[in-house]
A and B are shown apart, each in its own frame.
Chain A
Amino acid sequence: MIRLSRRTLLGLAMLAVATGALRPVAAKAAALPKARLAGLEATLRALLPKGIAIARIGHLYLASAKLDSQGLTRTLRLVQGFGAPDTMQADADRERIATRIRHDFERDRLVAVDGWILARTEARLCAICVLASAPEAGAGE
């Protein structure tokens, strides 16, 4: 298991963003309304077991060698349709994400991040949370 400080993780993730490939998607993520971001975080917390640090997964996914800008963009589109966590739509949002994650597991679309064996979608969603929480990363766009 990789042991990196939070500061190092953030640095690595932001370096990946700053080097270019992820800048467009970072900008779009940063533009997510706060309610949508809160909705996404709530969904991830509900879907992932206690013990998985969403931010850490997101940082490491972004810092990994395979910069997945197209995949992140596609997943971001899914999030852009999210409602706020306290709306009627929240359950439907969660179900949609859960289905997509299940399909990933069924079809072997898995990624390994910090040892975690995750559905590609959930790793991307963690990364989007990180990008959306760090608006300065996309500020140059």
Chain B
Amino acid sequence: MISDGRAVPEGSRIECDLCIIGGGAAGITLAREFLSSGAKVLILESGGLEADADTQNLYDGPQDGIPYPDTLYSSRLRFLGGTTNHWGAWCAPWKESDFHQRSWALNSGWPIALSDIEPYYRKAFALCRLQDDGDWTWDGEAWARRLGLETSLKGSSFEARVSQRSYPKFETERFSFARAYHKDLEASRMVEVLLHANATELVADRGGSNIAAVKVACLSGNRFTVRAGTYVLATGGIENARLLLASRSARPNGIGNEFDNVGRYFMDHIFVPEAARFFPQTARPDDFQLYLPNELDQSVVYCHIGTPDAFLKKERMKDSYIALFPHFDPDYLEASESEGVNSLNETIQGLKLGKLPRDLADKLLDIMTDVDDVVVSLYRKVAYGGIPVLYYDCMVRIDPTPMRESRITLTDEVDALGMPRAKLTWAVHDRDKADIARLINRFGREIGRLNLGRIQNLFDPAQPFRDDLHIGWHHMGTTRMSRDPRVGVVDRNCRVHSVGNLYIAGSSVFRTSGSGTPTMMIVALALRLADHLRTERSIR
């Protein structure tokens, strides 16, 4: 069921078996696993069913360090469904080597392996509404065959890495976890979503080894507490750390922060647009069409130029990929948009359907008065099979180095609920910039070797990032997983090392940002956590 926290009486206490704080991808995935269980599950969701400015303002906070290309206010969303309400919805699984410790990559390596996650992939694909037809699903060459396109980079050191969009072609509305699973949550008798209910503090018991309650506040003014056997924090990569740090009544440094790790190792995927230009040897748009969004049956797929394991090992680099954005020859592009060309296309379409356009005379007049553009357009079709490509902008995505200095801390300023605001100090390792330059150089070498064109590098690692730097809005790493409590916040089961009944779901547990997309991994990890809670915490 879905209820309104503002209707909960002041000072009351709600009891449940499992309290999930946060109703985004992680919280909803986890809660769905208990829809028909015998356990009472409560989701505390700060927002309502739609965005509202006062709730969103609870996210606001200052920043320093190197300029982060977005604000804490706008890089995430605080209502049911969380940031999946505005995500790009591209999904890709992680690979085995993402979990390995790489001697050349600082702070790499996970205490779990892909084999711990893989049993949950199929279900994660389904929850993210991805087409899953077996092994070929994530194989770039298989997609190329199915789409009838060239892989073009076959024989190079790179691979075609597949992403799939989470909402199928036939769905016009963007896919969010709230929209997709609202009915499930509403219909459940065991899972309750409490909207407008903000967790403001985790209260530890006397010994400090368990959470005894969560303090909850609504912007309408009422405050109450929730007591549960087990708690899961699922409020995203910034808020998870913020709530732990702000829970200071029993532990002055915050919950789970015995070794000063909470909030540290903040990461986001770095996207450098126009890091290079790729001038192809031939201008035929089909040659690299595989590396642009393509539709097939109900799927939308997008291949990037990825770095396989052998390449990473040889070059001693972290994972990265290049995305291509075509720039068409402006002369031909202009011609293709002229009235004469449009009239010609409409006439041809009509003839194909066996009928002449009603305004045929007008269309013929358009074609005749625009004959130069029509000729250019016809030539373009015959010579290039489409509008010729002048060059491709190369956007580089890089797996950032986890750095202790990159962190979330608390400020003295408080929000409308009296909670200290989060502050982001973003740091990027110099090595990451060097890796971007190296990747471009290696791409240039391979493109030249295969005689596919030439690369012009526009990225200078010695300079600060340009203003057009993008991030993925993927907040990761602030409660990182570790075997050793001294170097992380949660264990391999996502339990906070020093607290018996507190778990964390979401990308804050990531140790590295991986080659795939975060949401897929968030969902798979949440499914794995649900299994763990069933067996180890007897939530059934």
Chain B nearest CB, measured from A66 CB (Å)? 17
Q: CB-defined interface of B443-462 with A at 8 Å, one 1/0 digit per residue?
A: 01110110101111110000
Given A105-B445, A105-B449, A106-B449, are A116 and B280 also a contact pair (CB < 8 Å)?
Answer: no
Chain B nearest CB, measured from A121 CB (Å)? 11
Pick the residue among A50, A101, A112, A119 that contacts B283 (CB under 8 A).
Answer: A50
Let me know if A31 is at the binding interface, CB within 8 A: no
B-side residues, CB < 8 A to A, are 276-277, 279-281, 283, 390-391, 440-441, 444-446, 448-449, 451, 453-458
Given A49-B279, A50-B279, A50-B283, are A102 and B449 also a contact pair (CB < 8 Å)?
Answer: yes
A50 touches B390 (CB 8 A): yes
Chain B nearest CB, measured from A22 CB (Å)? 25
Q: CB-defined interface of A69-80 with B at 8 Å, one 1/0 digit per residue?
A: 000000000000
| A-B pairs with lowest CB-CB distance, top 4 | A117-B444, A105-B449, A49-B279, A105-B448
Chain A nearest CB, measured from B434 CB (Å)? 15
Q: CB-defined interface of A43-54 with B at 8 Å, one 1/0 digit per residue?
A: 000001111100
Residues of B within 8 A of A49 (CB): 279-281, 453-454
Nearest chain-A residue to B390 (Cβ)?
A: A51
A108 touches B391 (CB 8 A): no
Q: A49-B453, A105-B449 are in contact. List 15 more A-B contacts (CB 8 A).
A: A49-B280, A49-B454, A51-B277, A51-B279, A51-B390, A102-B449, A110-B441, A110-B444, A110-B445, A110-B448, A112-B457, A115-B276, A117-B440, A117-B445, A118-B454
Number of A-B contacts (CB under 8 A): 56
Residues of B within 8 A of A52 (CB): 279, 454
Given A48-B454, A51-B391, A112-B457, are A117 and B280 also a contact pair (CB < 8 Å)?
Answer: no
Pick the residue among A101, A105, A117 that contacts B457 (CB under 8 A).
Answer: A117
Pick the residue among B279, B280, B448 that contacts A101 (CB under 8 A).
Answer: B448
Q: How far is the CA of A101 from the CA of B457 in the complex (A)?
A: 19
Q: How far is the CA of A91 from the CA of B534 in the complex (A)?
A: 72
**24 interchain pairs, CB-CB under 8 A:** A48-B454, A49-B279, A49-B280, A49-B281, A50-B283, A50-B390, A51-B279, A51-B391, A52-B279, A102-B451, A105-B445, A105-B446, A106-B449, A108-B445, A110-B444, A110-B445, A110-B448, A112-B441, A114-B456, A115-B457, A116-B454, A116-B457, A117-B457, A119-B448
Q: CB-defined interface of A33-71 with B at 8 Å, one 1/0 digit per residue?
A: 000000000000000111110000000000000000000
Let me know if A98 is at the binding interface, CB within 8 A: yes
Interface SS of chain A: helix, strand, loop or mixed?
mixed
Pick the residue among A48, A106, A115 that contacts B458 (CB under 8 A).
Answer: A115
Q: Which residues of chain A in 78-110 are interfacial with respect to chain B, using CB atoms and an 8 Å cutoff? A: 98, 101-102, 104-106, 108, 110
Number of interface residues of A (CB under 8 A): 21
Residues of B within 8 A of A114 (CB): 456
Q: How far is the CA of A115 from the CA of B276 in the complex (A)?
A: 9
Q: How far is the CA of A4 from the CA of B529 in the complex (A)?
A: 59
Q: CB-defined interface of A101-141 with B at 8 Å, one 1/0 digit per residue?
A: 11011101010101111110000000000000000000000
Q: How far is the CA of A119 from the CA of B481 in the complex (A)?
A: 45
Chain B nearest CB, measured from A1 CB (Å)? 6
Q: How far is the CA of A110 from the CA of B457 in the complex (A)?
A: 13
Residues of B within 8 A of A98 (CB): 451
Pick the residue among A50, A101, A105, A115 that contacts B456 (CB under 8 A).
Answer: A115
Residues of A within 8 A of B449 (CB): 102, 105-106
Q: In this complex, which of A49, A102, A114 has the most chain B Cβ atoms within 10 angstroms of its Cβ?
A: A49
Q: In this complex, which of A104, A105, A106 has the most chain B Cβ atoms within 10 angstroms of its Cβ?
A: A105
Residues of A within 8 A of B283 (CB): 50
Chain A nearest CB, measured from B352 CB (Å)? 33
Nearest chain-B residue to A101 (Cβ)?
A: B448
Q: How far is the CA of A51 from the CA of B391 in the complex (A)?
A: 8
Residues of B within 8 A of A50 (CB): 279, 283, 390
Nearest chain-A residue to B283 (Cβ)?
A: A50
Residues of A within 8 A of B453 (CB): 49
Q: How far is the CA of A104 from the CA of B280 in the complex (A)?
A: 19
Q: How far is the CA of A119 from the CA of B280 in the complex (A)?
A: 16
Q: How far is the CA of A105 from the CA of B452 in the complex (A)?
A: 12
Chain B nearest CB, measured from A125 CB (Å)? 14
Residues of A within 8 A of B277 (CB): 51
